[in-house]
Homo-oligomer: A and B are copies of this chain.
Amino acid sequence: MPRANGRNFRELRPVTIERHYLKYAEGSALISIGDTCLICSASIEDKVPPFLRNSGMGWLTAEYSLLPRATKERTVREAAKGRLSGRTQEIQRLIGRALRSVTDLQALGERTIWIDCDVIQADGGTRTAAITGSFVALVDALATLTKDEANARLPVRDFLAAVSVGLVNGEMLLDLDFEEDAAAWVDMNIVMTASGRLVEVQGTAEKEPFTREEMNAMLELGMEGIAALVEVQRQALGPLADKVGGKNE
């Protein structure tokens, strides 16, 4: 079964990241991966949640939302329903946890970074695209805190990106689109640093339990995808890329 647009099994869809997409946010990016498209922004607030007051540490939290016609069928707004779905909460907890893992909250000081991921169009892989795109918005926001210091390192330890891998009809595929995702036997989301360390692995048997060997092969394929995504992030960030992670390498 061939993939859409002649893509091979181990290939990402075309990825672009447009920085400074919004005028007001401290950092923002429009990320497109195939037909999946999100606005990611990073906002800085000069206070922290109660549990961190007077701790000297900062915090990072994330919110995620779908525009109603991001999807094939119109999705009812969560604001209209008055409550967030379990799916939304799970995704925004994942995004926040992932980005916190590479942010130096001590160096950030008593500030909160709000990451907002709004999905303009959803063709599979929105949560992984949200992490990959938000990382760029985060770096831009952090840069506003140190802009006067030419050589200052940013309080972020390493590049971070995320990708999905899946078992679909017996084939192992990188970066599933919506149709592939719906047909997947196993769906795995991998969040990883540029240095190849794992931050989050979530593998779920949607139809059939999977073996240890399949698990390993999926991780291998995911690593290749992450490397390619980090390269796109570096290109987008240009010279700012060099200020990422130096402190901890």
Contact = CB atoms under 8 A, between A and B. Distances in A.
Contacts of A92: 86
Nearest to A116: B68
Contacts of A74: 25, 43, 45, 114, 116
A202 B189 CA distance: 10
B93 A68 contact: no
A22 B69 contact: yes
A204 B193 CA distance: 13
A78 interface: yes
Contacts of A43: 68-69, 74
Nearest to A82: B82
Contacts of A93: 86-87, 90
A55 interface: no
Main secondary structure of the interface of A (DSSP, over half): mixed
Interface string A173-197: 0000000000000000000110111
B211 A205 contact: no
Nearest to A223: B212
A22 to B, nearest CB: 5
A134 interface: no
A16 to B, nearest CB: 16
A126 to B, nearest CB: 14
A88 to B, nearest CB: 8
A205 B196 CA distance: 13
Contact of A209 (B41, B116, B193, B219): B193
Nearest to A90: B90
Interface in A57-101: 63, 65, 67-72, 74, 77-80, 82-90, 92-93, 97, 101
B45 A63 contact: no
A121 to B, nearest CB: 6
A23 interface: yes
Contact of A24 (B23, B121, B205, B216): B121
A198 interface: yes
20 contacts: A22-B70, A23-B123, A39-B67, A39-B120, A41-B67, A41-B69, A43-B74, A45-B74, A63-B77, A67-B116, A78-B79, A82-B82, A97-B204, A101-B209, A197-B209, A198-B209, A200-B204, A200-B205, A201-B201, A201-B202
